[in-house]
Structure 1
Amino acid sequence: MEGRLPDRVWSSDDVGKLPYEIAQAQKINSLFGPKGSKDAYDVILDLHNTTAHMGATLILESSTDDFNIQMCKYIQKSMAPLPCAVLLIEQPGVKYETTRSIAKHPIGVEVGPQPQGVIRADILYIMKIVVQYALDFMQYFNEGIEFPPCSIEVYRVLEKIDYPRDDNGDLSAVIHPTLQDQDWKPLNPGDPMFIAMDGSITYYEGEETVYPTFVNEAAYYEKKQAFVKTEKVTLTAQSIHCNSV
């Protein structure tokens, strides 16, 4: 499967004049890409910890990537009974520019909750076994093992939800206690979402049950995101095997 065409072509001209982030993006694109080319890396595992109570989470960027769907299925099955959610971010209105997107088959890994600047052995262990099962899957694939058709339940991103804010753009309410730490749990119409200092509550007014995640993620305050609404969908993948064995 070919990688996605780049949104723009990174040029090496005037590198010294570029902001640090853009210069680093060019460097990463040169090392692992170029993005969208036949020479781009086949797989990149993009590892993150989160302050949200998400547990082990795999992030898919395409609902039609048989290789990645099969990998997620293998990791989920191998980790059982430890839960491992799969988040599908294939949504035009919710765009994430990531290092992993350079690869033909990008996979994101989020594990939490873990406070920023803190190392927790249990979270580190979960991250380790997710990576190990991913490597096992790739090894088996390279050895020519065929993976039969499969299906997998995922949480597809619908939209980002911001905190209530005042006229100055400052937060006027926080995550309601009944929503805090409830990643992947159903949020039903009429359920509380936010509570203000005066005790007033903002309720979910949608018509369908959704499944929040990245609830109260510390890194997303500046991105105006209190949580992400998702819906459950089922993805299917055809059988895959390595043709070069």
Structure 2
Amino acid sequence: MGSQTVDAIKQVAIVGGVHGNEFSGIYLIKQYQAQPELMTRSSFNTETVWANPEAHFANKRYLQSDLNRQFKNTDLADMTLTDYEQSRAKVLNAQLGPKGQARTDLIIDLHNTTSNMGACLILTQAGEFYNKMAAYVKMQMPEAIISRDEDHVAAQDHALMCTLGRYGVLVEVGPQSQSVVRQDILDLMHKMTQHILDFVELYNHNNLPQLPKQTEAFRYLHSIKLPMNDQGERLGMVHKNIQDNDYQPINPGDPIFTLFDGTEVKYDGATTVYPTFINEAAYYDNNLAMSLNEKVFITLEDA
């Protein structure tokens, strides 16, 4: 076994229920609380956190504000932001953070999507630790999808809960309808979480296996909205060829929307893109149809 790494991860938090109607994370942390050996490793301590129980009891994503949009440094410091989720964010920052000087080395934030995204590991920052984690998880779990999201944005400017920790990732698993739990989706979330915990153990002991030099990933570009008129009324829907085809290529000229009068709207971009969060139910309040991504590769220098 290798020597302890300089950058050892000593404190891990697994967080469920940031969104009250995404059930897998809530039930997974309950399972880990009942069977702590599932989350126990020799080189670090693991705690579980139920982030937004009141929203869960109300069977809603959130009560007043989306909790997973409250963690920019400026918002955490703003004492005029006092609705339920804004207040919860400050409590979580005190419990797990404080952001920028966090007592928690790694936050694993568990989420569900109604979109057909499978098991997706979302990285919010760049760096060797994340790159090695991505390579390890993909090697152990070939069906996993790696998303680099907006990893060019500084942690202090990220609004996501997982950026409270020194490191933070999201485990996003779907398709699962809001306010239900599915065994196949819960199993995928458990499987990916176990691989992350195993990775940290091996990383701490400087004992990682030979990792692939290149790992396929997707980086967020921008989101596109459903077709609407000037009054903000929806004029169409996601095209049937796109529905459920998360991470499958959209080429210039491919139909992406069907208007209710039958007209097809084609993708007018110049390059091939890869859609995620297709027709996500939680994003209908913003009329978002999907996120578009580019395919990238994570390269390990010393692999």
Which residue identity lines up with residue 129 of structure 1 in the other structure?
A: K
Q: 1:35 to 1:232 in 2, by over 3 A?
A: same
Matched position secondary structure for 2:138: helix
Q: Count the aligned residue pairs.
A: 229
Matched position secondary structure for 1:23: helix
Q: In the TM superposition, what whole-angstrom CA distance separates every residue of 1:37-76 from its partner, at most 9, and x where no partner exists?
A: 1x341111111111000011010112x3211111121111
Q: Is 1:8 equivalent to 2:74 in the alignment?
A: yes
* Residues in 1 aligned to 2:237 and 2:252: alpha-carbon distance in whole angstroms: 19
Task: Point out where structure 2 has 5 or more consecutive residues left out of the alignment.
Answer: 1-6, 8-70
2:113 match: 50
Any conservation in 1 of the 2:72–2:159 contact (CA below 8 Å)? no
Match of 1:35 among 99, 115, 122: 99
1:151 match: 214
Which structure dedicates a bigger proportion of its chain to helix?
A: 2
Q: Give the TM-score of the pair, scaled to structure 1.
A: 0.86
1:87 match: 147
Which residue identity lines up with residue 92 of structure 2 in the other structure?
A: I
Match of 2:196 among 120, 128, 134: 134
2:140 match: 78
Cα displacement (A) at 1:97: 1.7
1:243 match: none
* Residues in 1 aligned to 2:177 and 2:258: alpha-carbon distance in whole angstroms: 22
* Residues in 2 aligned to 1:35 and 1:193: alpha-carbon distance in whole angstroms: 39
* Residues in 1 aligned to 2:254 and 2:232: alpha-carbon distance in whole angstroms: 25
Cα displacement (A) at 1:6: 5.6
1:227 match: 290
More displaced, 148-157 or 18-27?
A: 148-157
* Residues in 2 aligned to 1:196 and 1:50: alpha-carbon distance in whole angstroms: 25
* Residues in 1 aligned to 2:175 and 2:86: alpha-carbon distance in whole angstroms: 30
2:129 match: 67
Which residue identity lines up with residue 119 of structure 1 in the other structure?
A: V
1:106 match: 168
* Residues in 2 aligned to 1:9 and 1:78: alpha-carbon distance in whole angstroms: 38
Cα displacement (A) at 1:107: 0.7
* Residues in 2 aligned to 1:180 and 1:87: alpha-carbon distance in whole angstroms: 19
Q: 1:198 to 1:72 in 2, by over 3 A?
A: same
Aligned residues with identical type, % of pairs: 37
Q: CA RMSD in A?
A: 2.3
* Residues in 2 aligned to 1:96 and 1:232: alpha-carbon distance in whole angstroms: 22
1:167 match: 230
Which residue identity lines up with residue 237 of structure 2 in the other structure?
A: V
Q: 1:170 to 1:109 in 2, by over 3 A?
A: same
Any conservation in 2 of the 1:65–1:237 contact (CA below 8 Å)? no
